[in-house]
Every structure is written in C-alpha cells, then in structure tokens.
Homo-oligomer: A and B are copies of this chain.
C-alpha cells in the first residue's frame, strides 16, 4: 500500500477542493437555484456573492435576527425588492447557508483517498483537511454555529448528525489504530469528542488565535500531536 507520503499542505487542499471564488458561488447557485428568479449566471453569481458576504458581516456584527433586510439592502447596494429576486425569505437565506456548508462538508468528508489511509496518516489528513476547510469557509461555520437556533428542526437535526458523524469517523480511526497496536486509551469516545472540539476552536476562537499569532499549520500540528499523545502513540 503506497499510502505515504500524502500531501497535507494547505496548497494541495485548495487545489483539490475549490471552495473559494467562482466555484463556491456556482455551488451556492446550484443548491439555491429553485429559490431564485435570476437565471443569468453573469448577473446572479456576483450578486449572490455580495448578498452572502454582507450577510456574514452583518450577522457577525449584530446577529442574524438583529440584522434587518434593510441593513442588508444598504450593505449590498441591492434594493429591498431586488433582494427578493435572490432569496425566498429571510429565513430562507439562513437555511441556504446551512445547506451549502453541510453539503460541501459532506463531500469533503467522504473523500475515499483519505478513508483508505493507515490510522496515523488518516488522522493527519482528517485534521489538516478539516482545519483548512474551517479556515477557508470560516464565516459559514461561524454563522451555522451561532445561528443554529434560528434554523428549522430538520436543519438543526442534520447539523447535529453531521457532528456525530465526524466524531464517529475519528473514533473509527482511533479504533483502527488500537486494533493495529498503535494506540491505547480507555476513553476513546471522549478523546474523539475532544479532537472535534479542538478543531472547532479554529472558527469559534479566531480572536484568540489572531492575538497569539498562531497559524493554521501550527495549530494543525498541535492538534495532531496532542491527539496522538492522548492516544499513547509513540513514533517508531
């Protein structure tokens, strides 16, 4: 099995998963198409970008509920009436954000190339991949975390299932490592939840990392080292 080396650089991730610029807004358009009246992509994509970007800024500053569509209209430069050509309703806008992130995350998490790696390398790939995605789509994660209460019951449920699925994927990797005699611990489930929490810190505590000047690669290494240490792993 030629599982190693596996390129875990941020550059490689960005190349494998285009989650910024036009490909992203195309993705938004695709999942959101039925709610929109605008069919011309050359007009729709830039406006979608303005609408979503400004929503993130405003929701980040005062919360989504407290942000009015008048605020959004002013920030985007699109009139109130104009906005409704792009969204079905205000709630619909929040729902679209959650849906785009969840579908994207689901795609990235299902990547076969990662799932086939040996435990330590797989862990390394999962941690780096998740942090890079966190970093690139930071506003989306942050929004979904803080505004979850405003989403529909189905969407809240789906978000919770997504986190459990992530935990389960880590746990499976840990257990594979235990079976291979690499890891040992009597609290694997709690350790998996802790690794998930460490990763979430990257978008929840961005202010703290900015303060200390920690870069994403540094933090990725810290999370990997810490997780492996907690699993009792000793490099050969």
Contact = CB atoms under 8 A, between A and B. Distances in A.
A66 B149 contact: yes
A201 B193 CA distance: 9
Contacts of A66: 65, 149-150
A187 B222 contact: yes
Given A167-B208, A226-B230, A229-B229, 19 more contacts: A60-B149, A61-B149, A62-B149, A62-B150, A63-B65, A63-B150, A65-B66, A146-B149, A163-B208, A189-B212, A190-B214, A190-B219, A190-B222, A193-B208, A194-B198, A194-B226, A197-B198, A197-B201, A230-B230
A147 B147 CA distance: 10
Interface in A97-153: 146-147, 149-150
Interface residues of A, number: 33
A207 interface: yes
Interface in A146-193: 146-147, 149-150, 160, 163-164, 167, 187, 189-191, 193
A39 interface: no
Q: Name the prevailing secondary structure of the A interface residues.
A: helix
A173 B201 CA distance: 22
A61 to B, nearest CB: 8
A66 B194 CA distance: 31
12 contacts: A62-B149, A62-B150, A63-B65, A63-B149, A65-B65, A66-B150, A146-B146, A164-B208, A187-B222, A193-B208, A194-B198, A229-B229
A204 to B, nearest CB: 8
Nearest first, the 9 closest Cβ-Cβ pairs linking A and B are A65-B65, A63-B149, A190-B222, A197-B201, A65-B66, A197-B197, A63-B150, A187-B222, A226-B230
